[in-house]
Amino acid sequence: MLLISSKPGHEQVESDLRRNLDGRGRLLQSFAMTAGRRGFLVDGVDDRLDRLAALPSVAAARLVTAPYSLVKREERPAGSTVAFGPSQIGGRDFVLLAGPCGVESRGQLDEVADAALRAGAVGLRGGAFKPRTSPYLFQGLGLEGLRLLAEVRERTGLPVVTEVMTPEDVDLVAEHADMLQIGSRNVQNFRLLEAVGSIDRPVLLKRGMMSTLDEYLAAAEYIYMRGNEKVVLCERGIRGFEPRLRNTLDLAGVALLKRLTHLPVLVDPSHGTGLSELVPDLARAALAVGADGVLIEVHPRPEVALSDGRQSLTPAALEELARSLAPLARALGRDLARLPGRQAEASV
């Protein structure tokens, strides 16, 4: 199958393509891409790749093999990096992203953001729209939570990542956040993947709790093929049979993902274990196995958190974890990423 993208503003690309199919092949689908382009899937004319690619309205044409091609490691053997605020995710530096599971109040978010800064985190995570298994649990502050995140970013300089649950909310969340998180439960919400694929904003795509790696990479391809190449993966545990663990953190899957795809891969040991006392060990293991960073849940008083308190570190525990990551990173030939200008304040 051929994946063809138009040049921006080229309305006639579809008729150009049809004319050059000469009744052979099928135009299966067309879709909106980033930067005002359109994409086209054309079946049955793989031998016409060069001819279609040379059309004046066509920006690029390539042969794709289902279910994922563009995110395969071979496409970019050196790996790709995704800019998040002033930092790069996926390069030599290991990134620490930290924050509460859910944004609860300005005071809570301020306390956690200050702890994240002291620990040397380069990003603040926090849910405003919370997908909860029970409809009776805290669902997040919604727009108010987004506003609090944006305010705390202004105050601290920490770029923020927060979840978007529906295609309708993509623009609103993108107005407030530096990176959009797609949660585990939405990894195969294809309309949502398409919606974040056609905007120009980094996406943190969490692995589904029951996704195989191939299904997961196909989900990433949904975003990537629409032109948004700023995709960061995150292993957050898969459903296992051990009732003592909320999930089973698939670190072997992380090592394999790093070989299968050029996309950066983070690890979330908070959801991956469900137990705060295990989070530091699994975060260090993530670094050792070659992940590009970790996403850590933190709450000033985990025992009263409105969501995921049992797996949340205290600010002090976050700082201690950060202190232990730095020498380990150096031993592995890497460094911890730092926000520019925050070197002196970092605790490590």
Question: Interface residues with Mn ion (CB under 5 A)?
Answer: 101, 308
> In terms of CB distance, is 229 or 308 closer to Mn ion?
308
From 16-24, 81-89, 182-190, 334-342, give the range in contact with ligand PEP by CB under 6 A: 182-190
| Contact string 124-143 vs ligand PEP (x = CB under 6 A) | ---x---x------------
Residue 206 contacts which entry, Mn ion, ligand PEP, none (Cβ below 5-8 A, type-dependent) = ligand PEP
From 90-98, 181-189, 190-198, 332-340, give the range in contact with ligand PEP by CB under 6 A: 181-189
Figure out which of the listed residues 38, 48, 271, 338 binds ligand PEP, where binding follows CB under 6 A.
271
> In terms of CB distance, is 38 or 236 closer to Mn ion?
236
Extract the tokens encoding 67: 């279910």
Could you tell me if 112 and 100 are in contact, meaning their C-beta atoms sit under 8 angstroms apart?
Answer: yes
Could you tell me if 133 and 151 are in contact, meaning their C-beta atoms sit under 8 angstroms apart?
Answer: no
Give the span between the Cα atoms of 58 and 331, in whole angstroms: 48
Of 232, 231, 250, whose CA–CA distance to 240 is shortest? Answer: 250
C-alpha dist (Å) from residue 51 to 2, 4, 20, 213: 12, 12, 8, 35
Extract the tokens encoding 211: 């996704």
Pairing of strands 179-182, 203-206: parallel
From 34-42, 58-66, 183-191, 225-233, give the range in contact with ligand PEP by CB under 6 A: 183-191
The alpha carbon of 11 is separated from its chain's Cα centroid by a whole number of angstroms, namely 32
Q: How far apart are the first and last CA of the chain?
A: 51
306 interacts with ligand PEP by CB under 6 A: no
| Contact string 99-128 vs ligand PEP (x = CB under 6 A) | --x-------------------------x-
302 interacts with ligand PEP by CB under 6 A: no
Interface with ligand PEP: number of residues (CB under 6 A):
9
Give the span between the Cα atoms of 100 and 302, in whole angstroms: 9
Give the span between the Cα atoms of 318 and 328, in whole angstroms: 16
Classified as helix, coil or strand, 87 is strand
Extract the tokens encoding 14: 């579809």
Q: How far is the CB of 176 from Mn ion (least distance, A)?
A: 19
> In terms of CB distance, is 132 or 342 closer to ligand PEP?
132
> In terms of CB distance, is 59 or 165 closer to ligand PEP?
165
From 8-16, 90-98, 165-173, 177-185, give the range in contact with ligand PEP by CB under 6 A: 177-185
Cβ-proximal residues to 149 (8 Å cutoff; 6+ apart), any chain: 103, 109, 124, 126, 128, 160, 162, 176, 177
Residue nearest ligand PEP (C-beta atom): 183
> In terms of CB distance, is 101 or 124 closer to ligand PEP?
101
Contacts with ligand PEP by CB under 6 A lie at 101, 127, 131, 183-185, 206, 236, 271
